[in-house]
Amino acid sequence: MKLHPWPLATVHITVSDVNEYAPTFTEPSYVRQVDEGRIYPEIVRVEATDRDCTPKFGDVCKYEILTTDQPFVIDTDGVIRNTEPLDYERSHNHILSVIAYDCGMRQSFPALVTIKVNRVCRLGWRGLPERVDYAPMTGKQELFPNANLQLCDIPCNVRELRARVDLATRHIGKGCDRDTYSVQSQRKLCGASPSAIDLLPSPGAGAEWTKPLISDEGHESDQMFEFDGSSTAVSIPNTVLDHNLPATFTIATWMRHGEHNGQDKHVKEHILCSADDHSKYLVVRLFAVSCIICQRAPIGFR
């Protein structure tokens, strides 16, 4: 019998897997081009691999876009899509930093994804701001200095161009949202010129010409004057308003038009007229709460 020089023993060794490698992208950077104004289900698919062997540490489980405030998302397959139509005017290209995680949540170095936005010509106006601010007393202001009508190289012989601008208010009462203010407040809010002249002031010292008019005596905010539309008028003294009006002036007025049963619809109605006799007449139909004239005043918002 042959004996071993030493006794045999069985040793069990358990090898624990460790997350040795981080995922790496198959390409260090990605560049794609897209057209503006579209939603793409897939713009680019990025891919990362991992050298670890086990699914836990070797499979890529997640991708993430590190760049914030960008209209893109990435799914677990690395597919990047946009969440809203892209706008060339807003950004010509978007650069995203993307990382991958293995299933042990070890993350890769970032890869750069550049998405270039192609400009798509669309017929219509461009350069129109959604909002125009005007500061009172700042004079004339161009509303749309950058307005540009895009014709996209389509042959077009422009004979006439018309543009219509509507001003609207979101005020609950619609219409003029200044109606609830007094005339004095309106002047301040609307930036009336300091040279504005109140043509229909409340009767008083220095304002006797409105005394003959029927008025509501100012029961509600400002005083209202009534004109019958045919015989009632007031003459503005030359000392109040120079009757030699300049070529340019602005009239601001507020009125409510009453019913005229049986009246000829072709009868002209005047707010201000320059008569050929010795005086100028202010003829406001029916009710007028105020009438202000601004000489050489710029046209403002009202």
Of 102, 186, 193, 286, the one binding Ca ion (CB under 5 A) is 102
Q: Which CB atom, from 108 or from 186, has the smaller least distance to Ca ion?
A: 108
Told to check if 21 binds Ca ion by CB under 5 A, we report: yes
Of 25, 50, 101, 215, the one binding Ca ion (CB under 5 A) is 50
Told to check if 198 binds Ca ion by CB under 5 A, we report: no
Told to check if 52 binds Ca ion by CB under 5 A, we report: yes
Q: Which CB atom, from 105 or from 189, has the smaller least distance to Ca ion?
A: 105
Alpha carbons 234 and 212: distance in angstroms, whole number: 8
Stretch that binds Ca ion, among 15-23, 37-45, 160-168, 274-282 (CB under 5 A): 15-23
Minimum CB separation of residue 21 from Ca ion in Å reads: 5
Alpha carbons 197 and 183: distance in angstroms, whole number: 12
Give burial (CB, 10 Å; 0-12/13-18/19+) of 207. middle
Minimum CB separation of residue 105 from Ca ion in Å reads: 10
Q: Which CB atom, from 19 or from 67, has the smaller least distance to Ca ion?
A: 19
Minimum CB separation of residue 29 from Ca ion in Å reads: 22
Six-digit token string for 284 = 């406001």
114 SS3 class: strand
User: Residue written as tokens 């601010």?
Assistant: 133
Told to check if 101 binds Ca ion by CB under 5 A, we report: no
Residue 187 has phi, psi (to 5 degrees) of -60, -40
Give burial (CB, 10 Å; 0-12/13-18/19+) of 43. buried
Of 19, 70, 91, 232, the one binding Ca ion (CB under 5 A) is 19
Minimum CB separation of residue 46 from Ca ion in Å reads: 17
Of 34, 46, 48, 57, the one binding Ca ion (CB under 5 A) is 57
Alpha carbons 96 and 63: distance in angstroms, whole number: 12
Told to check if 60 binds Ca ion by CB under 5 A, we report: no
Q: Which CB atom, from 82 or from 108, has the smaller least distance to Ca ion?
A: 108
Where are the strands (E) in the chain, listed by range?
24-25, 29-35, 44-45, 48-49, 60-65, 72-74, 79-82, 93-102, 111-118, 124-126, 148-150, 197-198, 214-215, 225-227, 234-235, 249-256, 272-273, 281-282, 286-295
Query: Which residue ranges make up the site for Ca ion (CB under 5 A)?
Result: 19, 21, 50, 52, 57, 102
